[in-house]
Amino acid sequence: MHADLPFWEPIYKQALPTFAGLSAIRRDGWAQRGGIDRLIILESGKTLRIGEKLREPDYPDILPEYYSDRTRKVPGWIAKDLACDYLA
C-alpha cells in the first residue's frame, strides 16, 4: 500500500517544522471519499488532512485526474470538492 512507503514521514517532517505524528486513513468512509489519505498532527494539536497522489513509474510532475472513468464521465479527484487541506 502506498501509505506504508517509508518516504512519507521524512517528507512531512521536512515540510512541517512542528510535525508531531501521522496516521493513514485506510478504511472506506467519508474521509477516503473526501480525498483524505492521511492525517498529520502538529505540535499545537492542529490536524492537517492530506490527499496523497503517486504515479508509477516515477514522473517529475502531477497528472490531474479530470475523469476517473472517461467513458461514463465520472469526475476524477481534481474535479471534485474534496475535504483535504493539502495535496502531497
Question: Could you write out the DSSP letters of every residue in 31-75?
Answer: HHHTT--EEEEETTS-EEEEE----SS--SS----SEEETTTTEE
DSSP category for residue 17: T
What is the tens place of the pLDDT at every residue in 21-57? 999 998 899 998 899 999 999 999 999 999 998 888 8
- Rounded mean pLDDT of the chain? 92
Q: What residues does each domain of the chain span?
A: 2-87
Confidence (pLDDT) at 56: 83
Tell me the pTM: 0.83
Query: Cα–Cα distance between 7 and 33 in angstroms, integer?
Result: 24
